[in-house]
Structure 1
Amino acid sequence: MSGTDSLTGVDVLEALLDGPRARGAFLLRALLDPPWSLRIEDDAPLTVIAPLHASLWVCPDDGEPVAVPQGSVAIVRGPEHYTVTDTPGTRPDVVVYPGGRCTSTADGRGLWDERSLGVRTWGDAGGSAQILVGSYEGHGEASRPLLSALPRVAVHDPGPDGSPLLDVLVSELAVEAPGQRALLDRLLDVLLISTLRSWFSMQASEGPGWFRAQQDPAVGAALTLLHREVAHPWTVEELADRVGISRAALGRRFTAIVGEAPMGYLTTWRLALAADRLTSSDATVAAVARQVGYATPFSLSTAFKRAYGVSPQQYRQAPPPSLVAGAGG
């Protein structure tokens, strides 16, 4: 195939979106009476916040406050701490820690049981502000290009009709049934993916290189091929032939848009996939090497240690902290 008609850059976004997966995510509906302010120190790498009734502000420690209107969905990139409040400057009266543990800022007493309002609901009975919160406890290296392209707080307004996904998720929060936690995880994933896809689409020419590549038929098609056939023994010559342009033209355009040469991008992507598979499966290093396009486990180990500073086995035993933390938007 020499044309690009059947190849679209959407596949690249799909591949990156496959990284963030909820597995027992912390998910609840908070009811709060103003004035209210929550100090978030849960170290979550990614949190979805949706004000269902009344607007709110997300105030990062390292940035300006960001308004989140009622009906919008905010994606907060961690693990740095921040404050969620009805009005910037309101003094926090609650601190939230990993796993949903929360304490009073006044005297340090635990507040989870005291302010529990039933199944996955917490706060003030009859509170006028209602907020959906879903926190991811981890993510994979394969999602790093996507998450590092986000600002500290990304806000998406789905429009006057709101998001039907929010309605479904909220209705399921109060349900206790077999498999409910898995169902809620999947619903949270769908909300996150839908929000990210819409947010990136609004960025147009200001998006990251891998997203802007969709506007170039050849580069977008080349990226899609690299993601779709990651284990293939690619050369720049074959890749250029598959998308129908010269080797020199592909190398020049790919580097200008994406920020690195095709084979450099492929190496980074292969190693990110390998890192994910080492920590999410029991596959041997040899099997992982084959899955991501390395002929031998030794060749994978050499490249992996050069990129991550540890061997694949060492990474599997003790994955380092996410490299997304502190990445620029």
Structure 2
Amino acid sequence: MDVLSQALTAARTGHPVSYRVDCRPPWGRAFPSVPGVGFHVVLEGSVWLIARTGRPVPLGVGDVVVFPHGHGHAMADRPDTPLLPMSYVPEAVPDDDRRTTAVGPDGSGAGGAGAAMLCGMYRLTRERAHPLLAGLPEMIHLPARLGRHNHLRSTIDLLADELRRPGPGSHVATTALIDLLLVHLLRGWYESTSTAGWAAALTDPAVSAALRAIHAEPARPWKVEGLAALSGVSRASFARRFKDLTSQGPLSYVTWWRLTLAANLLRGTDAPIATVARQVGYTSEFAFANAFKREYGTAPGRYRRPEGAEGA
């Protein structure tokens, strides 16, 4: 698996959700903070985005906004429309039936052209978030531009159609399309900001080669010289470039990723601690336990069974 795929897999805590919102003016909804990534896609008409900071932003058909850290915000037909509370997931509706919800008109108003949005949320943990995800801005706006992000647009069309006309297997199809949508959303962002940080690390020939190798074989006894050789550059040049783009040294990242994988294995499987240690590259359970405790502040066994979890 590639770095982005594994970063998302390691952070996931549940199934994503998505639904269509049909809006009739006047309408305004305040979306709360969520434990993951929130997004909106304008399918019809126009809306205003009201973020926590800055001026309201007008959005048109095809515009996409993503909240990588789940911050609260509002959407409305006009910047000055009063706001009512709104959830990413319509309340009191079974998971398989969350397709469409309607909002507005709120109170009295002249009405006018409506709008439609595709709204959704990915449930991701904030604990030990991969720096590739942790470094994303508070909000990402991908405006609709002819010829840009064609795969993203195609995925949006497929998902919107599935929500509008569900059929046999629709739940599986919708979940898969929402997953694909997140990948294309992040690809679109990284492609537009590929000159620094992790966005550049994913496209830098030397650093990306090393990252792919680390993620393909996390248990391998990596050394800087070996990673540099894979990358085709000198040791000094590779180490400097890796740290400049990822903000940590190559072996520090290896350790961080190994222990992140170990934490997921401890919580997600019943594998013995010694087995987990070997799977992430530690030949000694004692060495693994010490490294894990330095990183997480607790022993592997206690991490696997947090206080209060007994008998749950």
Q: CA deviation at 1:221?
A: 1.9
Letter in 2 for 1:265: Y
Cα–Cα, structure 1 residues 64 and 176, in superposed 2: closer, same or farther, change >3 Å? Answer: same
Letter in 2 for 1:151: P
Q: 5+ residue gaps in structure 2?
A: 106-112, 308-312
Contact 1:141 1:276 in 2 (8 A): no
SS in 2 for 1:29: strand
Structure 2 residue aligned with 1:4: none
Distance in 1 (CA, whole Å) between partners of 2:247 and 2:298 is 26
Q: CA deviation at 1:77?
A: 2.4
Contact 1:16 1:142 in 2 (8 A): no
Q: 5+ residue gaps in structure 1?
A: 1-9, 102-111, 320-329
Distance in 1 (CA, whole Å) between partners of 2:56 and 2:260 is 33
1:238 aligns with 2:229: no
Cα–Cα, structure 1 residues 240 and 204, in superposed 2: closer, same or farther, change >3 Å? Answer: closer
Percent of matched pairs sharing the same residue = 34
Contact 2:19 2:99 in 1 (8 A): yes
Q: CA deviation at 1:311?
A: 3.0
Picking from 183, 190, 211, the partner of 2:180 is: 190
Q: CA deviation at 1:53?
A: 0.8
1:12 aligns with 2:8: no
Distance in 2 (CA, whole Å) between partners of 1:278 and 1:60 is 38
1:168 aligns with 2:154: no
Letter in 2 for 1:76: F
Q: CA deviation at 1:30?
A: 0.6
Matches within 5 A, 1:1-329: 11-19=2-10, 21=12, 23-41=14-32, 43-61=34-52, 65-93=56-84, 95-97=85-87, 99-101=89-91, 120-124=99-103, 128-139=114-125, 144-160=130-146, 163-175=153-165, 179-205=169-195, 207-208=196-197, 210-214=198-202, 216-318=204-306
Distance in 2 (CA, whole Å) between partners of 1:254 and 1:25 is 33
Instruction: Give aligned pairs, total.
Output: 293
TM (norm. structure 2) is: 0.80
Distance in 1 (CA, whole Å) between partners of 2:124 and 2:39 is 13
Q: Which has the higher contact order (CA 8 A, sep 6+)?
A: 1
Q: CA deviation at 1:146?
A: 2.4
Q: CA deviation at 1:264?
A: 0.6
SS in 1 for 2:130: helix
Comparing 11-20 with 265-274, greater Cα deviation is found at: 11-20
Letter in 2 for 1:137: R
Q: CA deviation at 1:252?
A: 2.6
SS in 1 for 2:241: helix
SS in 2 for 1:270: helix
Q: List per-residue Cα deviations over 1:68-95 (Å, max 9, x = no partner).
A: 43212221123432222233332212x1
